[in-house]
Amino acid sequence: MKPALFDYVRAMTTQDALDVLAQTGEDARVLAGGQSLMAVLNMRLAQPRVLVDISRTDELNAVRADSQAGHLVVSAAATQSSVEWRATLRDEVPLLAMAFPHISHFQIRNRGTVCGSVVHADPSAELPLVLTALGGDVLLRSKRKQRAVPANDFFQGMLMTAREPDELVEAVRFPMKKPGERFGFAECSARHGDFAMVACAAIVTDDAIRIAVGGVADRPKVERWPRLRGEDLRGALNDLSWKLGAHDDAHISAKYRRHLVRELGWRVIEEAK
């Protein structure tokens, strides 16, 4: 199938994009890398009247470390590859560096943006999981206002977010590594590059564990525990696997999803020791 007819606007500035969103609201869609949106349009799951293309908006194509605030700030037009190949990424946000190779293939990451993946809000996607695990936030801007929404509140369900129709996600902020933090990331997918059936991310310090799980509930879920070990940790992971409300689908049973939460959860916490 082909998309329904739409008008195409190329935004040269952020203001251009905000103007279109303010005028058109629900009938407009932002086009970033197009790696999710084009499939949605081709299947006619969405039929926007206007597409506003931000992929060549220079002022939105930025990745910068705000060392004072302790954030890596990724603007809306920055591709996944441009962040993945940042020379300092492993020191700044190690969890992000661990997650990128799991996102599809490099061709997709060359076009797909970090912010586009966050806005698309697929419950199995790696970037929403990492953003939620780290306690990052999403910077939204419209002609009316600017606001920062914590990732945990931004993701509201499968492909659902707190974004309002006239808002552009201007950037996302990933908290940078703090002293004493160690990280683990693992996922299980049918083939390398496929969406995860279950993905887990862990941030471990000497006295605490934070674990985030994707692909099970309708959005990434985070749990915080003291520094559990051995059978206590196994028990907590088992409780978590039931709490997430795993479901059967065409690819995998709820029982196997719970198994993956327990095993990948254990693995990422071991990796982060």
At position 90, the amino acid (one-letter code) is R
Q: How many CA atoms lie within 13 A of 186 on its CB side?
A: 17
Q: What residues contact 123, with CB distance under 8 A and at least 6 apart?
A: 158, 214, 215, 216, 217, 218, 219, 220
Closest CA to 133 of 91, 168, 94: 94
Extract the tokens encoding 264. Answer: 């990948």
* Stretch in the footprint of ligand FAD (CB under 6 A) among 34-42, 90-98, 174-182, 231-239: 34-42
Query: Which position among 9, 74, 119, 133 is part of the footprint of ligand FAD (CB under 6 A)?
Result: 119
* Binding flags for ligand FAD, 134-173, as an x/- string (CB under 6 A): ----------------------------------xx----
Nearer Cβ to ligand FAD (124/241): 124
Nearer Cβ to ligand FAD (67/107): 107
75 binds ligand FAD (CB under 6 A): no
84 binds ligand FAD (CB under 6 A): no
* Stretch in the footprint of ligand FAD (CB under 6 A) among 105-113, 172-180, 202-210, 232-240: 105-113
34 binds ligand FAD (CB under 6 A): yes
Query: Which position among 20, 74, 76, 197 is part of the footprint of ligand FAD (CB under 6 A)?
Result: 76
Report the alpha-carbon distance of residue 273 to residue 266 in Å, rounded: 11
Distance in Å, CB of 251 to ligand FAD, minimum = 13
* Stretch in the footprint of ligand FAD (CB under 6 A) among 1-9, 102-110, 176-184, 263-271: 102-110
Site for ligand FAD in 185-224 (CB under 6 A): 195
Report the alpha-carbon distance of residue 69 to residue 273 in Å, rounded: 26
Judged on CB neighbours under 10 Å (0-12, 13-18, 19+), 234 is: middle
Distance in Å, CB of 249 to ligand FAD, minimum = 16
* Stretch in the footprint of ligand FAD (CB under 6 A) among 112-120, 225-233, 243-251, 259-267: 112-120
- Determine the residue with CB nearest ligand FAD: 112
For residue 113, how many other CB atoms are within 10 A of its CB?
A: 32
Query: Which position among 14, 18, 29, 137 is part of the footprint of ligand FAD (CB under 6 A)?
Result: 29
120 binds ligand FAD (CB under 6 A): yes
Query: Which position among 9, 11, 20, 31 is part of the footprint of ligand FAD (CB under 6 A)?
Result: 31
Residues forming contacts to ligand FAD in the complex (CB under 6 A) are 29-37, 76, 103-104, 108, 112-113, 115-117, 119-120, 125-127, 168-169, 195
